[in-house]
Chains A and B, each alone.
Chain A
Amino acid sequence: QVQLVESGGGLVRPGGSLRLSCAASGFPFSDHYMTWMRQAPGRGLEWVSYISGNGESIYYADSVKGRFTISRDSARNSLYLQMNRLRPEDTALYYCAAAILSLKGNPLFDSWGQGTLVTVSS
């Protein structure tokens, strides 16, 4: 059974930093694309960053490029998101998700964790 458990959220001042973690289990971690998605209060879902199974392919949304860094540790079956220079508009529930289904073409992030809340406020 796929399990994704996020941690590391909290309240931080604008300009501050946070590191989110996602502990994965129930699937061969290094074989699958992973992502961080976020959902701001009262708003829809937005992709933040993707990383391939071997960590060699990484993508960032323009809104976080240069400030956020995604990484993964296969030995620990964990995904991370280092968030620097945080802004109030980064306030959101951050979800870790995995592309488990083996589909032809682009990955579909079909398994999601419960999320961790990040609040950026002075």
Chain B
Amino acid sequence: EIVMTQSPATLSVSPGERATLSCRASQSVYNSLAWFQQKPGQAPRLLIYGVSTRATGIPARFSGTGSGTEFILAISSLQSEDSAVYYCHQYNHWPSYTFGQGTKLEIK
């Protein structure tokens, strides 16, 4: 099983600033890496797939980079509505898909 490790577990950032969330895979997932956002009481929402492609309706403030085993989700010009838990997800190793444990982003 591919283990996805996210850091930090919790991140507190001021409005208007930039947040950087990290995700490491225990082995290469090539470019089959996605990011989901989950707010309390809501379903996970796809933000990014294929490492860097934004899903429909996702603002350009969200960007993804990386390759192989190291990935980054950056969120610029943070807004209060960005407060959520963010999960990275590998969909390279079918059918054993896995998710990271999540990074909780708090807006100060």
Contacts and interface: CB of A to CB of B under 8 A. Distances in A.
Contact of B43 (A46, A47, A106, A113): A113
A44 B50 contact: no
Given A44-B99, A45-B99, A47-B97, A108 B91 contact: yes
B100 A106 contact: no
Contacts, number: 46
Interface in B73-102: 87, 89, 91-92, 94-102
A50 B95 CA distance: 8
A106 B102 contact: no
Contacts of B25: none
A115 B91 contact: no
B34 A108 contact: yes
Q: Classify chain A's interface size.
A: 20 to 34
A45 B50 contact: no
Contacts of A113: 43
Interface residues of B, number: 23
B101 A103 contact: no
Contact of B49 (A46, A108, A112): A108
B102 A44 contact: yes
Nearest to A96: B43
B17 to A, nearest CB: 27
Contacts of A115: 43
A114 B45 CA distance: 10
A95 to B, nearest CB: 6
Contacts of B102: 44
Given A103-B49, A110-B49, A45 B43 contact: no
18 contacts: A43-B101, A44-B99, A44-B101, A45-B87, A45-B99, A47-B95, A47-B96, A47-B97, A50-B95, A103-B49, A103-B50, A106-B91, A108-B32, A108-B34, A111-B46, A113-B43, A114-B42, A114-B43
